[in-house]
Amino acid sequence: MDTAAASYAAVWVARRRKAGYLALADGTVFRGRSFGAAADRLGEVVFNTAMTGYQEILTDPSYAGQHVTLTAPQIGNTGFNPEDFESAAIHASGLLVHETSAPSNWRATETLEAALERFGVPALAGIATRVLTLKLRDGGTQKAFLCASGKVPVEEGIARARAWEGLDGQDYASKVSTQAPYDFAAEGTEGLVAVLDFGVKTNTLRLLAAEGFRVRVLPAKTTAAEVLALRPAGVMLSNGPADPAALPYAAETIRGLLGKVPLMGICLGHQLLSIALGGRTERLKFGHHGGNHPVQELRTGKCEITSQNHNFVVAEESLPETAATVTHRSLNDRTIEGIEARDVPAFSLQYHPEAAPGPHDAAGAFRRFHDLVSSALR
């Protein structure tokens, strides 16, 4: 992309942007200038503390139903490119940034604004993101209405935010999941891994293929019998959006797989494995969202810098000690970040090892799964 042309285009776009606003359910209003799609969306506002990776964040299906506030002050300098999509679309409901910038990166094939317009996602620039972040940190996550069309009065926007059902009790996983099975990697020497797609990220599939597995992706509502009919060497329980308690069908499937095939869960998959083992989940005040969260592996004492995106967490007192052992904890708030089943080959991580935090701190998770599968095949 020609940098001079992109800079000129960015200036021209900034001049034609319409005024927009974000209306929180508590009546607070943040004003900015719209960019991306001239649309209006309801969503839950979260803040993400990552300094880079906005394309991966926006295309992560785990962000479905959420307006993402980026705490880094200037967004857009790396543009968008075909290789860094974590799914086929932008899944975040909206984007909130302090300032935009024109792309200046050799890999960019389109601007951030063009990508947002292409996928119909609204965004606001000029937002007081520090103020908004502190409000969410102190008061907790809020429902909100993002107006980028300029057509909805503020008072109506506040009313819509208050009336929205929110994400609690909502099954968004089946909305973002594939509707039909497909092969991501048809060849491999280490057997077939079936991936239950609750909102899987592309890099998870790449890393499974890199371990030598054949990889088949299955819809979220695939039953245990249908999974086992494929005779998989292992099963991956993927990440995904919204409330794990709203997916009783997934917990039932996992209970039908426990002890019959090795399992690994990531984020939502971790929460669903915990539920299947007898635990329950609860909502965090403002969630964990960012690429810089320290997690301790309890067995070794080692600290990993991790990438995270979740609003719910496994309730400490709910997990039966006879069923699972806690293996990882957050060093920020001591919440559970990993478990291992006691009597069957299964483990899970609350964070995202595929997101290259650290950048390689969590890379061993997929090797661990490989070894678990290999042990079960012996």
Residue 303 annotated among the catalytic residues of the structure: no
| DSSP code of residue 327 | E
Segments of 238-280 assigned E as strands: 263-266
The one catalytic residue in 91, 288, 293, 352 is 352
φ, ψ for residue 317, nearest 5 deg: -75, -10
Residue of 67, 211, 354, 370 marked active site: 354
The tokens for 196 are: 């239950």
Report the C-alpha gap between 6 and 59 in whole angstroms. 23
Cα 107 to Cα 118: distance, rounded to the nearest angstrom: 19
* 257 in Cβ contact with 288 (< 8 Å): no
Q: What is the DSSP letter of 14?
A: H
313 and 343 in contact (C-beta within 8 Å)?
no
What residues does 100 pair with on adjacent strands?
75
Token pair belonging to 97: 């940034």
* Residue showing tokens 């030598």: 212
Q: What are the E-state strand segments in 315-359? A: 324-330, 336-341, 346-349
Q: One of 56, 67, 91, 267 is an active-site residue; which one?
A: 267
Tokens of 165: 């059902």
Residues whose CB is less than 8 angstroms from the CB of residue 210 and which lie 6 or more positions away in sequence, other chains included: 366
Sign of the dihedral through C-alpha 9, 14, 17, 20: positive
Which SS3 state, helix, strand or coil, does residue 354 take? helix
What are the tokens at 45? Answer: 């506002």
CA angle 226–232–235, rounded 5-degree value: 85
Q: Is 147 annotated as catalytic?
A: no
Does 352 qualify as catalytic in the annotation?
yes
What is residue 229's three-state secondary structure? coil
Our CA dihedral for 271, 273, 279, 280, rounded to 10 degrees, sits at 30
Strand ranges (E), the chain: 19-24, 29-36, 40-48, 66-70, 74-75, 94-96, 99-100, 122-125, 142-147, 182-185, 192-196, 214-218, 234-237, 263-266, 281-297, 303-314, 324-330, 336-341, 346-349
Which residues have a catalytic role annotated? Answer: 267, 352, 354
